[in-house]
Amino acid sequence: MSSPNSTYSEEAKKGIASPRLQASLHNLQHRFGKGAMDLWANMEDQDMRRRVKKSRMKNLAHLDIVLDELAEKVRARGGNIYFAKTAQDAIDYTLAVARKNKVKRVVKGKSMTSMEIGIDPALEDEGIEVVETDLGEYIIQLAGDTPSHIIAPCIHMDRNQIGKLFAEKLGIDHTNDPPTLTMAARKALREKLLSADMGLTGCNLACAETGHISLVSNEGNIRMSTTMPPVHVALMGMERIVATLEEHRETTQLLTRGAALQKLSTYVSFIGGPSSDDDPDGPKEFHLVIIDNGRSKILADPEFREVLACIRCGACLNICPVYGRIGGHAYNSTYCGPIGAVVTPLLDGINKHADLCKGETLCGACKDICPVQIDLPRMLAALRHKLAYGSDRWNTKQHNPAEAYTFRIWRLLVTKSSLYQYLIKIARFFQRPFVTKNHMIRKMAGIASGWTDGRDLPPIAPKTFAELWEEKYSKNRPAAPKAAEEEN
């Protein structure tokens, strides 16, 4: 149950009230949500999603082995591997690399993991300039805002706002022409990319067999961030790994299709270590930071392991009717939408993010669109189970004792039908003053006002079906053969 002033509900209200956001989300879902569903329906290889899911789950089951192989291969090529237990460990390691290399400027490729661990403020505290190079993330950074979509971070802004922002921050003449704005960003970013001391990226997928990581993008900025600066640090969630190049091929195809309806993104960069004599392109140092930050705990729980199969394509955001109304900021988390509603509580506390666990209708659209068929509604229900009774394993306290008490009474009623029917009679009597001329209840108190604030409620009927059955149907009806025999 949300408290009336919860961030989720408050931010949701703001999102619903914004015509600009509503228009953007509508376009996004119309194009990409429907588009992905059409893609899946018409894909020649109808078994591909099931197969990739199976391989994702297999790799999770053998995560220690595949990660070990990856680390060995990257090290053999002169790259550095660091296993970070916590977000702080990952930050500390990255800072140490930056200090050692006297880094003054970091260019970033779009990375949700970097936001999850909160590395930007840590770098900035060291006096290091951090520049996002993904156009959407760059806009967000200039605006001092937070992303509201995993793939399209500034979906909540329109070109007029961006035009104003660029005029103010980049000193260009005001325009709302997207190509002109893009060129202005390109020019500003090019200077940063050419003079950066370190590139910092995420990792879409790592491949154990070949010992590389891959990054998909459409702007080319990630390739530049990983090749121009002398140092490249890649932050990788420890679950983002496939065993073989063949698995990599199929998983990437689902990723780019789910994310942007593309058979393949414009750029797929494969990175396996620093430059060498026979491979002169690339950074002098390569560091792969493999981050746990709560993932082991998810991995260890069979109820939630499946969420680690996620390939972060963001397709579930493009179909979710809740996200489609409220936008990404309401989730108040790095990860928003249906995937965020499951993974955020697991990574950052179920009680803390109770509204994310409870604020969906369980309609199942996210499960349908997920390229790897993750059953998010099942896990939302499982999270609510932890909130309902508390869970030692997840350090979760009972979320709402009053609600729990209500359901205990409910349980008594639904298992004692005579009591249940008696209570219906009482409610029918007491509802009378509330029933208006149109035979609806327009106002109720307490928690029930949640219904009547925006909707009417039909009253309890003059006779319930059970009562009608007794009166009209139980005696005078076509006798069922079996029932008739019994009566005889």
- Sites for another protein among residues 315-374 (CB under 8 A): 321-322, 325-326, 358-365, 367-368
- 171: region left, alpha or beta (phi > 0 left; psi from -120 to 50 alpha): left
Q: Does 453 bind another protein (CB under 8 A)?
A: yes
Residue 305, classed as helix, strand or coil, is helix
Report the 10 Å Cβ neighbour count for 152: 19
Interatomic CA distance for residues 387 and 352, integer angstroms: 11
Q: Which of 127, 144, 171, 481 binds another protein (CB under 8 A)?
A: 481
Q: Does 50 bind another protein (CB under 8 A)?
A: no
Given the complex with another protein, which of 25 and 122 has the nearer CB atom?
A: 25
Q: Does 454 bind another protein (CB under 8 A)?
A: yes
Q: Does 457 bind another protein (CB under 8 A)?
A: yes
**What minimum distance in Å lies between the beta carbon of 393 and another protein?**
15
Given the complex with another protein, which of 46 and 160 has the nearer CB atom?
A: 46
Q: Rounded to 10 degrees, what is the CA torsion of 45, 50, 52, 55?
A: -140
Q: Does 450 bind another protein (CB under 8 A)?
A: yes
- Lookup: tokens for 274: 């620093």
Q: Which of 337, 438, 475, 488 binds another protein (CB under 8 A)?
A: 438
Report the 10 Å Cβ neighbour count for 81: 18
Number of residues that bind another protein (CB under 8 A): 72
**What minimum distance in Å lies between the beta carbon of 311 and another protein?**
22
Exposure string for 371-391, b = 16+ CB within 10 A, e = fewer:
bbbbbbbbbbebbbebbeebb
Q: Residue 231 forms beta bridges with which residues?
A: 198, 285
Question: Binding string, 10-29, against another protein, x = CB under 8 A?
Answer: --xx--x-------------
**What minimum distance in Å lies between the beta carbon of 454 and another protein?**
4
Q: Does 179 bind another protein (CB under 8 A)?
A: no
Q: Which of 43, 63, 261, 413 binds another protein (CB under 8 A)?
A: 413
Given the complex with another protein, which of 33 and 237 has the nearer CB atom?
A: 33
Q: Does 2 bind another protein (CB under 8 A)?
A: yes
Identity of the amino acid at 264: L
Q: Does 451 bind another protein (CB under 8 A)?
A: yes
**What minimum distance in Å lies between the beta carbon of 430 and another protein?**
14
- Sites for another protein among residues 117-156 (CB under 8 A): none
Q: Does 447 bind another protein (CB under 8 A)?
A: yes
Q: Does 54 bind another protein (CB under 8 A)?
A: no
Q: Rounded to 10 degrees, what is the CA torsion of 158, 159, 161, 165?
A: 140
Q: Does 76 bind another protein (CB under 8 A)?
A: no
- Binding window for another protein (CB under 8 A); candidates: 46-54, 65-73, 113-121, 451-459: 451-459
Length of the chain, in residues: 488
Q: Which of 18, 388, 434, 435 binds another protein (CB under 8 A)?
A: 388
**What minimum distance in Å lies between the beta carbon of 463 and another protein?**
6
Given the complex with another protein, which of 42 and 415 has the nearer CB atom?
A: 415
Interatomic CA distance for residues 159 and 408, integer angstroms: 52
Q: Which of 408, 432, 437, 475 binds another protein (CB under 8 A)?
A: 408
In which order are the strands placed within the sheet that holds 105-108? 80-84, 285-291, 231-237, 198-201, 105-108, 129-132
Q: Does 385 bind another protein (CB under 8 A)?
A: yes
- Binding window for another protein (CB under 8 A); candidates: 48-56, 228-236, 273-281, 444-452: 444-452
- Sites for another protein among residues 88-117 (CB under 8 A): none
Q: Does 422 bind another protein (CB under 8 A)?
A: no
**What minimum distance in Å lies between the beta carbon of 298 and another protein?**
18
Q: Rounded to 10 degrees, what is the CA torsion of 83, 87, 92, 97?
A: 60
Q: Does 463 bind another protein (CB under 8 A)?
A: yes
CB 105 within 8 A of CB 247: no
Q: Does 410 bind another protein (CB under 8 A)?
A: yes
Interatomic CA distance for residues 374 and 376, integer angstroms: 6
CB 93 within 8 A of CB 84: yes
- How far is the CA of 48 from the CAs of 5, 54, 254, 268, 468, in angstroms? 44, 10, 9, 20, 53
**What minimum distance in Å lies between the beta carbon of 439 and another protein?**
8
Residue spans of beta strands (DSSP E) within 348-440:
none
CB 200 within 8 A of CB 233: yes
